[in-house]
Amino acid sequence: MCGIFGYLGYRDAAPVVLAGLERLAYRGYDSAGVAVIDGAGRMEVRKSAGKLANLTQLLEREPLSGTCGLGHTRWATHGVPSDANAHPHVDGTGEVVVVHNGIVENYIELKARLTAGGHEFTSATDTEIIPHLIQELLARGHSLPEAVRLAAAELRGAHAIACMHAGSPETMIALRIGNAGGVSVGFGSGEMFVASDLPALLPLTTSVAPLEPGQMAIVTPEGCEMLELDGTRIDAVRQTVAMSPIAAAKGGHRHFMLKEIMEQPESAMSCLRSRLTFTPPSVTLDELPFGPADIERVVFLGMGTTQYATRVGARMMEQLARLPATAEDASEFRYRDPVVDATTLAVGVSQSGETADTIEAMHLARQGGARTLAITNVAGSQAERGAEATLLMHAGPEIGVASTKTFVNSMLVMYLLAAHLGHARGALTDADAAAHVDAASRLPALLGEALDLNQGIYERFAASYARARRFLFLGRGLLDPIAREGALKLKEISYIHAEGMAAAEMKHGPIALIDDETPVVAIALRDALYEKMLGNISEVKARGGVVIALATAGDDAIEALVDDVLWVPPCPPLLAPMLAAVPMQLFAYHMAVHLGNDVDQPRNLAKSVTVE
Ligand code: F6R
């Protein structure tokens, strides 16, 4: 969370930094700011609460000039989103400027010490103590790199930090402590860049050096020096990233989210490309560095929407590979001393590849001896760098903050992994494997059908249901996680409270919520649990509830039982979660549009959650 972008070179820094921040806005958009040092060593800061457009307007009114600049787009942790709390933060002399991603866990204690020493603070943030700490060390005669290094040693927690000093206008320092989101240096010709993640650098350079935890970079327009935070000099590990710049265009759609929902047939196709073999039929995953005999248990790690995808993945793994599999909330896993060993495969799933809890949970599993695999949409991300091997989702860039196509592609990759391991372990016969290859190959076309169904219905539903105060979402089996995801999609972009659960769970408490103002979305596809779902629907109807069913196209019988229906095309059983996700996404999308919400940047959220 929070985006950092820095520039040193020969161009006017502010527009370069602003464009970099635009590419990072998905990391947070509560407020933004930029600091520029001019040739005479004068530093000026502009910052503004709200989205980046506010900062752009401020810079139009009050431009900055200089070739060395540092910017930040914020997701608030300490202190409300406001001009004062926006980064960059400066020290009392106005000479040291800092942008920061992370939480200074001991900031109260540090602030008290600095305040007692005469420092005055103007914000409610934890970050503001950092420039003050650096200034105090500069005043004691330390060089800028040394002052930054010593200040960093005082901070508890995980951090990515970049800073400048007006007295050294051609130097920027970037450092990383733990996993609070990455920070990378980008190499240009006569110019250098610093950014929170690689995609933000790619329009400018593909030559990059991502910092590992405990590393610091001293960057000038000509290059960079790297050191460990204990002061040891190291060589910068430069790599060339083979990835094209993000084509951030809505392609005629009103929102990125809608574009990304509509792209799902194509993104599923990209995910399958070269992974399905037809003669003989099998799933080929050349990326895997372990054999089927090496693994006795699979632990999936993820958060949010992605964690719901892993719940589907774990069920698929048990069903197809007959391996015990669990889907873990990574934030809980990392603090509970879990049992893992060399026969455990820990699969960290993260579309961004930057989620702090998922990265740390993978790290913990690796320390416990587990084999590690990342499933991510971002090549070169921390998830990829921290795992033995990676299966890329190949969904293409996802800009909308609410995950859609990466949700479907995560499930698809886990389906392929389960089928591959199942076949390799002998849990699936050749004929079974062939059936799964055939099913997977039909997904792109079926996603296309799912997108075509229900034309015009979503808008009508939005008009009639947008005033509901809360929703319940019910599902069973592989569709229980889709009910949870449907509820999450609705609440994150429409701001209507929604709860998703296993349908049978409703009787154990939530049924008390049923009334005619609490619509229930029941996923009742024609699968092995269909009749059980009909029973749950009857229980809701018997209590005067309103039911919207998600049903298999052609199931005329269900129409008589419920108030409204959204259709899903008939499909092989293991594709059902991927197809049922589509109407859930479109339902939430149209509700949010009807309510006039900012669909692509919903309030309080960020696309990559780099603080725990
Ligand atoms: C919701 C959403 C989030 C993410 C979660 C994990 O639409 O996108 O719940 O799924 O923050 O993100 P990644 O997959 O990047 O680790």
For residue 351 and ligand 1, the question of a CB distance below 6 A is answered with yes
Query: What is the Å distance from ligand 1's center to 311 Cα?
Result: 14
For CA atoms 551, 555, 556, 561, give the dihedral sign.
Answer: negative
pLDDT of residue 242: 67
535 CA to middle of ligand 1, Å? 33
Per the structure block, which two tokens stand in for 449? 């059908």
Question: Does the annotation mark 259 as catalytic?
Answer: no
Is the CB–ligand 1 distance for residue 492 below 6 Å? yes
Ligand 1 pocket, 331 CB below 6 A?
A: no
Query: Do 93 and 129 reside in the same domain of the chain?
Result: yes
Asked if residue 599 is part of any domain, the answer here is: no
Q: Which residue's alpha carbon is at the smallest distance from atom 9 of ligand 1? A: 304
Please give the share of the chain, as a percent, with pLDDT higher than 90. 86
Instruction: Please answer whether residues 13 and 221 qualify as being in contact, where contact means their C-beta atoms are separated by less than 8 angstroms.
Output: no
| 243: confidence class by pLDDT, cuts 50, 70, 90 | low
Residue 485 DSSP symbol: H
Rounded to two decimals, what is the model's pTM?
0.82
Can you name the residues that pair with 278 across neighbouring β-strands?
A: 281
- Does 267 share its domain with 219? no
For residue 607, indicate whether it is catalytic: yes
Provide the domain count of the chain.
Answer: 3
Whether 244 has a pLDDT exceeding 90, the answer reads no
> Residue 247 has what pLDDT?
46
Query: Which residue in 2, 68, 163, 224 is the catalytic one?
Result: 2
- Tell me which of 251-255, 287-291, 401-405 is least confident: 251-255
Instruction: Give the separation between CA 14 and CA 63, rounded to whole angstroms.
Output: 8
Q: Which of 451, 483, 502 marks a domain boundary?
A: 451
Residues forming a β-bridge with 82: none
CATH of residue 437's domain is 3.40.50.10490
User: Any residues with CB less than 8 A from the CB of 257 and at least 6 apart, and which?
Assistant: 400, 402, 404, 493, 585, 589, 599, 600
Is the pLDDT at 245 greater than 70? The verdict is no
**Ligand 1 in contact with 350 (CB < 6 A)?**
yes
d(CA 379, CA 391): 10
- Would residue 213 count as lying in a domain? yes
Q: 10 Å Cβ neighbour count for 369?
A: 12
Q: Which residue has the tokens 């091997």?
A: 389
Task: At 536, list the tokens.
Answer: 């749950």
Nearest to 75 by CA among 2, 160, 173: 2
Regarding whether 274 and 243 lie in a shared domain, the answer is no
Position 214: which residue type? Answer: G
Question: Is residue 144 in a domain?
Answer: yes
Is the peptide bond between 88 and the residue preceding it cis, with omega within 30 degrees of 0? yes
Q: Report the distance separating Cα 195 and Cα 592, nearest Å.
A: 32
Residue nearest to atom 5 of ligand 1 (CA): 304
Residue 530 lies in a domain: yes
Q: Which residues share a beta bridge with 3?
A: 73
Q: Kindly state whether residues 362 and 492 are assigned to the same domain.
A: no
Q: Does 609 contact ligand 1 (Cβ within 6 A)? A: yes
Q: Is the CB of 355 under 6 A from ligand 1?
A: yes
Asked if residue 275 and residue 246 are part of one domain, the reply reads no
What digits encode the pLDDT tens for the residues 67-86?
Answer: 999 999 998 888 899 999 99
Is 54:39 a contact under the CB 8 Å cutoff?
Answer: no
Tell me, yes or no, whether 557 and 409 share the same domain: no
Atom 7 in ligand 1: residue holding the nearest Cα: 402
Give the pLDDT confidence of 270-285 residue by residue, as tens digits: 999 989 998 899 999 9
Ligand 1 centre from 606 Cα, in Å?
9
Q: Are residues 435 and 557 in the same domain?
A: no
Catalytic residue among 111, 405, 489, 607: 607
Give domain status of residue 607, yes or no. no
CB 206 within 8 A of CB 188: no
Tell me: do 532 and 499 sit in the same domain: yes
Q: Which residues contact 267 (CB under 8 A, 6 or more apart)?
A: 393, 394, 395, 396, 405, 408, 409
Find tokens 């108030």 and name the residue: 563
Asked if pLDDT for residue 302 goes beyond 50, the answer is: yes
Confidence of residue 251 (pLDDT cuts 50, 70, 90): low
User: What residues have CB less than 8 Å from 424, skipping those under 6 apart?
Assistant: 291, 292
Q: Assess whether pLDDT exceeds 60 at residue 60.
A: yes
Q: Would you call 540 exposed, middle or buried from its count of C-beta atoms within 10 A (0-12, 13-18, 19+)? A: buried
Query: Are both 77 and 45 inside the same structural domain?
Result: yes
pLDDT in tens, 163-219: 999 999 899 999 999 876 789 999 999 999 999 988 789 889 989 999 989 999 999
**Residue 582: domain span:** 453-594
Same domain, 433 and 538: no
Q: Of the ranges 20-29, 245-254, 410-419, 587-596, which one carries the lowest mean pLDDT score?
A: 245-254
Identify the pLDDT of residue 522.
Answer: 98
Same domain, 325 and 442: yes
Taking 60 as the threshold, does the pLDDT of residue 56 lie above it?
A: yes
Of 79-88, 220-229, 243-252, 586-595, the poorest mean pLDDT is in 243-252
The string of pLDDT tens digits covering residues 520-544 is 999 999 999 999 999 999 999 999 9
Residue range 367-386: mean pLDDT, rounded:
94
Cβ neighbours, 10 Å, residue 244: 11
Does residue 477 or residue 239 have the better pLDDT? 477
Q: Residue with the nearest Cα to atom 15 of ligand 1? A: 352
Ramachandran angles phi, psi of 12, nearest 5°? -65, 120
pLDDT grade for 580, boundaries at 50, 70 and 90: very high
Whose Cα sits closest to atom 8 in ligand 1? 403
- Is 381 a residue whose pLDDT tops 70? yes
Position 248 pLDDT exceeds 70: no
Do residues 339 and 417 both lie within one domain? yes
Residue 602 in any domain: the answer is: no
Ligand 1 pocket member 410 (CB < 6 A): no
Query: Please, what's the largest Cα pairwise distance for the chain?
Result: 81
Instruction: Give the mean model confidence (pLDDT) for residues 594-606.
Output: 89
